[in-house]
Chain A
Amino acid sequence: MIQSVLRPPLILLACALFLTSCGGGGGGSTPVTPTTPVAANQAIIAVEQNTDINPVTQFPTVNLPYVSVKVCDTTGRCQTIDHVVLDTGSYGLRLLSSAVSTLTMPIETTTGGGSLAECATFLGGYMWGGVHTATSIQISGEIASNVPIQVIADPSLPSTAPTTCQNTGSNIGNLYGIGGNGLLGVGLFVEDQGSYYTCVGGPTGTCSATVVAPSSQVSNPVAFFPTDNNGVILQMPAVPITGQLNAFGTLTFGVDTQSNNTLAAYSVLPADSGGNFTAAVAGQSYGQSFLDSGSNYSFITLPLSTNTYGDYAPTAYTTYPATLTSNVSTITPISTSFGVIDSAALNFFNTAFNDIVDPGTSVSADFGMPFFYGRAIAFVISGKRVTEGMGPLYALH
């Protein structure tokens, strides 16, 4: 893990010393620019180096899909926040307080009169912040009104999270922990079912655990759009097996609601109540598997050895077949595949890679961002209907 963090900056540093050589074969591939015009229900997804993060001294923002989000407050003032990470493995918008410092967004209050705060937990750590109401969230031409969002590192709350929150992991509620100015959770559910707290006394006050109604929880803004509110489709271009400097894809809102979001050519995969399915890979079965744009590598156990960075290291690029079977439906399983390459041979001037895989656990296969290139993947929200069935469901093309 530590080596994995240090390795790319060292390569970049070496390149920085010989800039001319990096323009050619020694550096990343030729940059591409978004060319596809997007419709009112579409936004551009950019996988690129976030220039707020210095790749030499910090880390390259590998496989992080960014979108821009416009947020407006109670006074009508708006701010467009760039480099928000698009995450199909979570639900709700979370923004660094530093990115929305000019906006006036009231914090939600609890029945006891306290301020509502949340400890949002992830495998890598937690994000601590207040639950505020955004008057509107606009992404491309879609507008969601009065959405509960999380403001991370909220100056109106104690800066240190409660101990019970800290004991879930490391604090990742910052630019480097997120890799951007926020996280946009557009996965298979509406509410985040997080750990909530009621806080009194402001920044020097105290917080205690509380339970809140679903309507007060930080929620997937897509469900708040007047139309095109039943899910999203992420479409990413194919990239070479050695990676690409950057990559631009399309985020489409709504499924089966417009001519540009039909599932006609897709294979449908209904998800269980946790958003999971069963993946069979290399003779093993993983019952808690999922598709997650917020995982920048795939985490799937394979019969391969790892390199010094902790990534699988086949002697040559290898393709693994995978069968994806619903846990809740007898629908025909999906046969697909994914590639694996030894990351030690890759140039981390590039940011878009379709074949970096790390070990998973014995129960779960996490098909992360590498799996999204060269595909379109639909995420239909729980309880929402499309022609092919009812969410939560995935559909692959």
Chain B
Amino acid sequence: MRFLSCYKILGILMPLLLQPAGAWAVLGGSAATVGQDGQSVTSNARQLAQPIGGIQEQTILTAQNVTVTEYTANGLVFAIRWSGPVMPDLSVLLGTYFPQYASHLPVPTAATRNKPILVRSPGLVVHANGHMRAYTGSAYAPSLVPSGLNLNTLGVDP
């Protein structure tokens, strides 16, 4: 009985112990997903847990001083938003959705300059705007968004 208790306690603690200080989730990943590029998160990352109607909110500060807020429902990150002085490494934020994002980017010519990023595909929606020292953006996976949720209430551009 005592033996089992120890295992129970370990079972609760181990996931927490194994999670490094910079652990965070990516779009479509589980809440405990570790970022694919841990270098982007430093030990000064801060985590806030705030339930909003069953939705978990977690805020992280990256090494580039970009504040990233992730929204989790049903164990998966369904939306993120960011704000910071530079454009973030979107492969870290979008995870497995990054190739989909990259394929929708306009061709690299600057006939239109400083155009906001507006990617709207069935599997992924991304918005980004701003200028040097003041970029903001958001992304969500429509299939993962809880039904009836108004993304605007989370500060995520629908």
Contact = CB atoms under 8 A, between A and B. Distances in A.
Interface string A37-74: 00000000000000000000011101010000000000
Given A193-B133, A359-B118, A178 B157 contact: no
A167 B89 contact: yes
A297 B112 CA distance: 7
B130 A123 contact: yes
Interface residues of A, number: 63
Nearest to B131: A89
A185 B132 contact: yes
Contacts of B40: 164
Given A185-B132, A363-B136, A4 B112 contact: yes
Q: Give the one of B91, B105, B107, B114 with max A CB within 10 A.
A: B114
Nearest to B114: A295
Q: Give the one of A124, A164, A169, A211 with max B CB within 10 A.
A: A124
Contact of B134 (A60, A120, A288): A288
A91 B114 contact: no
Interface stretch (B68-76, B80-88, B139-147): B80-88
A353 interface: no
Interface residues of B, number: 42
A195 B92 CA distance: 16
A81 to B, nearest CB: 18
Nearest to B128: A123
A209 B118 contact: no
B116 A123 contact: yes
Contacts of B113: 64, 124, 179, 294-297, 368
A80 to B, nearest CB: 23
Q: Give the one of B64, B107, B112, B113 with max A CB within 10 A.
A: B113
Nearest to A188: B133
A123 B129 contact: yes
Given A1-B112, A62-B111, A362 B127 contact: yes
A2 B114 CA distance: 15
A170 B115 CA distance: 13
A192 B106 contact: no
A142 B65 CA distance: 34
B109 interface: yes
A179 to B, nearest CB: 6
B5 interface: no
Contacts of B106: 1-2
Contacts of B65: 193
Interface in A76-134: 89-91, 119-126
Contact of B133 (A64, A209, A275): A275
Nearest to B107: A2
- The 9 A-B pairs at the shortest CB distance, nearest first, are namely A274-B134, A170-B108, A121-B87, A89-B131, A1-B106, A193-B85, A295-B114, A364-B129, A167-B91
Given A124-B114, A170-B108, 18 more contacts: A1-B107, A59-B111, A89-B131, A120-B132, A123-B135, A164-B40, A168-B88, A168-B90, A176-B110, A177-B109, A178-B110, A193-B65, A195-B64, A275-B131, A276-B134, A290-B130, A299-B129, A361-B129
15 contacts: A62-B111, A64-B113, A120-B132, A121-B86, A123-B117, A123-B130, A172-B108, A187-B131, A193-B133, A275-B133, A358-B115, A361-B116, A361-B118, A364-B130, A368-B114
